[in-house]
């Protein structure tokens, strides 16, 4: 169910702008604690990710030092195609390349995102380099609506089914991008949305 908010909430970069939510974010659940997962093998990093061109520039500015960590020439990090989309800062986005069935920024000798771990090593705020699409996953946005990602919709997300709700798991990240007033309104909405029965058996358990 889509609920309109009392006003529009632009992100700290101006875009995306959220004016409605899919109330399923208050019920659907996933494992949440990615670094503690021992079954998904960073499945969600099997794909490239969309990011705005300013984000690309911030990543490229880390240059040789980041390239040494990634182990792939920086010329191969991003797709050549640039697409128009008003929901991204600057109105345009591109994607990270997929190499050997994984995002170019996946840590192939360990776990997780190299943009995140590089930021931690350098004392940087990971939001500076890591795309918003990654940070708020498995939440997403489309046409001004905050909603579950496609992988939640089609139930292909391997860690779906147990843990915190999408909203509770990512509330702090949403606060970073959209501010405390946004969170206050979502908290109020969460308290008014009727509870629903949820399937707490995750896909990885179903496949055992």
73 — pLDDT class (breaks 50, 70, 90) = very high
Closest by Cα among 48, 44, 43 to 93: 48
151 — pLDDT class (breaks 50, 70, 90) = confident
Mean pLDDT across the stretch 41-49?
Answer: 78
**DSSP letter for each residue of 65-133:** HHHHHH-S-GGGSB-S--EE-TTSGGGEEEEB-EETTEETTB-TTSSSBHHHHHHHHHT--GGGTS-HH
Distance, C-alpha 43 to centroid of its chain: 13
Query: Largest alpha-carbon pair distance within the chain?
Result: 52
User: What digits encode the pLDDT tens for the residues 174-207?
Assistant: 999 999 999 999 999 999 988 764 444 344 443 3
Tell whether the model's pLDDT for residue 86 goes beyond 80.
yes
Tell whether the model's pLDDT for residue 159 goes beyond 60.
no
Q: What's the rounded Cα separation, in Å, for the pair 118 and 77? A: 15
Beta bridge partners of 2: 22
- What are the φ/ψ torsions at residue 170 (nearest 5 degrees)? -115, 15
User: What digits encode the pLDDT tens for the residues 104-140?
Assistant: 999 988 878 999 999 999 999 999 999 999 999 999 9
Tell whether the model's pLDDT for residue 155 goes beyond 80.
no
Mean pLDDT across the stretch 78-106?
Answer: 96
Residues 6+ apart with CB under 8 A from 36: none
Tell whether the model's pLDDT for residue 5 goes beyond 70.
yes
Chain-wide mean pLDDT for the chain?
A: 88
Tell whether the model's pLDDT for residue 156 goes beyond 80.
no
Return the pLDDT at 132: 97
**Structural domain spans, the chain:** 2-206
87 — pLDDT class (breaks 50, 70, 90) = very high
Between 23-37, 103-117, 144-158, the lowest mean confidence (pLDDT) is in 23-37
36 — pLDDT class (breaks 50, 70, 90) = low
């Amino acid at each position: 169910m889509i609920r309109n908010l009392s006003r529009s909430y632009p992100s700290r970069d101006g875009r995306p702008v959220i004016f409605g939510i899919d109330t399923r974010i208050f019920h659907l659940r996933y494992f949440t604690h990615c670094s503690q997962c021992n079954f998904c093998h960073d499945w969600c990093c099997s794909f490239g990710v969309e990011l705005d061109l300013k984000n690309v520039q911030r990543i490229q500015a880390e240059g040789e030092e980041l390239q040494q960590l990634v182990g792939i020439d920086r010329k191969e990090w991003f797709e050549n195609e640039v697409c128009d989309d008003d929901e991204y800062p600057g109105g345009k986005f591109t994607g990270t390349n997929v190499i050997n069935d994984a995002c170019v920024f996946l840590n192939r000798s360990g776990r997780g995102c190299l943009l995140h771990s590089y930021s931690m090593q350098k004392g940087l705020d990971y939001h500076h380099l890591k795309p918003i699409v990654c940070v708020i996953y498995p939440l997403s946005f489309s046409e001004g609506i905050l909603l579950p990602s496609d992988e939640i919709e089609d139930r292909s997300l391997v860690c779906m089914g147990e843990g915190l709700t999408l909203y509770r798991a990512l509330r702090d990240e949403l606060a970073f991008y959209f501010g405390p007033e946004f969170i206050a309104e979502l908290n109020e909405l969460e308290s008014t949305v009727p509870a629903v029965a949820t399937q707490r058996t995750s896909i990885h358990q179903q496949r055992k």
